[in-house]
Structure 1
Amino acid sequence: MRIHADALLFDNDGTLVSSLESVRRCWTLWAQEYGVTAEQFGRFALHGRTAAEIAADLLPAEIVPEAVARIERLEVEDVPNGGVHLLPGTREFLDALPADRWAVVTSATLGLAEARLEAVGIRPKTLITANDVTRGKPDPEPYLLGARALGVDPSRCVVFEDAPAGLAAGRAAGMTTVALATTHQARELDADLVVKDLSALSVLVTDRGVEISVRD
């Protein structure tokens, strides 16, 4: 299978970077601090949704802003403790792309996204975060904003995601979707192409755009 595009839009956590260890550590502590039970907490997927949305589902509205600030602080401070690293194939794949052909579109806040990307040495020219949007994934707004920032028609963009919410956002934006089975089972992911991670793909940049194919 070959996919042709003008620009590539990447989710970060679970797509480029593995942060599961850090996420679990910080959110477990956060839940304990705010009296959220394991049963309540277990109903919500952490990947692919903003912290504000998760907190709003679990806590009274009046303490949500404080709780969101707290989880961001916990996660940013936890980055140096380990548990954040590049997923297979990420470095090679991104190094093959011109800086103006790709962007990171994440549900994380700007501070957290920058901390995790800096920790693994990724410096995108274009970064879209929860601070830039009014509606997070699965709404298409984040990915439409990413396409606009790169000056590319949404139909000529490919979204790389590990979470159902992010894939839904890409589809709603009218983009081709590639799912990476890093945090979910392949059968849970609805996408134009499903692979294990970026190491399963090769990329070729030409004057006509970007060509993505599955390695033999």
Structure 2
Amino acid sequence: MDWHDYDAALFDLDGVLTPTAEVHMRAWRDLFTDYLTLRGITDRPYVESDYFDHIDGKPRYDGVRDFLASRDLTLPEGEPSDGSDADTVCGLGNRKNDFFAAALAAEGVEPYAGSVALLDHLATTGTKVAVVSSSRNAPAVLEAAGLADRFEVVVDGQVAAEAGLPGKPAPDTYLEGARRLGVEPGRAVVFEDAVSGVRAGHDGGFGLVVGVDRGAGTDALTDGGADRVVTDLAELVG
């Protein structure tokens, strides 16, 4: 593709730049497997497809809420300050974050080589770059992956909460990323591995939405709004 047709590239983080989506998946699995067991729910256990169907790409508390709804369960909303032992939506979300933080500290993270190759290429073209992630852990992940100094703009879950922006699949966080970069959405490319994320890019009117298939599937990403689907960002270098 000709990168001179675009002024900016906006990247989701987990599953696009770094393989931390796998760490998130394990954290969600451990959280809900424990939770369903404690509730005595054995006929509808947590399965891998639950991550893609109800959780992937969404703000943490939305993921908790949507998974619980899939099992006809409800909890009080609670507050973001709830302890991770609280039986609330926020409490469960904070418990999941404990699982994730422990795994990140123990295992670290290496960025995808193809994603680094694309970032290196974009640096030569003068293309502006930003990270737009639902995760509140984005700064820590970027630091651990050695990518923090590559991005002038990071719109993460904390920024979205402070600004009152709805999370993906709403386009607001991507539009905020484009605004902070000083570019029009139609002149920017969105990179996403989640159906909720490609839908956000599509609904935001971005010039190109690239789905990165790390497990969601080409058909699901295309149906969600991806203009093109790749398995590695190195395919877009040059």
Taking only the aligned residue pairs, the percentage that are identical comes to 34
Cα offset, 1:83, TM superposition:
6.9
State the Cα distance separating 1:100 from its structure 2 match.
Answer: 7.2
Q: Deviations over 1:28-57 (max 9, x none)?
A: 221144336583644342321111101122
Distance 2:106 2:228 in 1: 34
TM-score normalised by structure 1 residue count: 0.83
How large is the Cα RMSD of the aligned pairs?
Answer: 2.2
Q: CA deviation at 1:91?
A: 1.3
What residue ranges of structure 1 are gaps of 5+ in the alignment? 204-216
Aligned to 1:60: 75
Quote the Cα distance in structure 2 between the aligned partners of 1:41 and 1:132: 30
Q: How many residues align?
A: 201
Q: Deviations over 1:129-152 (max 9, x none)?
A: 112223111100010000011011
Which structure: greater strand fraction?
Answer: 1
Match of 1:183 among 215, 234, 237: 215
Normalized per residue, the structure richer in helix is 2
The list of structure 1 runs, each at least 4 consecutive aligned residues, that deviate by more than 4 angstroms after superposition, is: none
Match of 1:193 in 2: 228
Query: Does the alignment pair 1:128 with 2:155?
Result: yes
**1:12-27 equivalent positions in 2, closer than 5 A:** 12-27=13-28
Q: Which has the higher contact order (CA 8 A, sep 6+)?
A: 1
Q: For the structure 1 residues 21 and 82, does the alpha-carbon distance in structure 2 shift closer, same or farther, using more than 3 Å as the test?
A: farther
Look up the SS of the partner of 2:201 in the other structure. helix
Structure 2 residue aligned with 1:88: 113
SS at match of 2:131: strand
Shift in CA distance, 165/40, structure 1 to aligned 2, threshold 3 Å: farther
Structure 2 unaligned regions, length at least 5: 69-73, 78-87
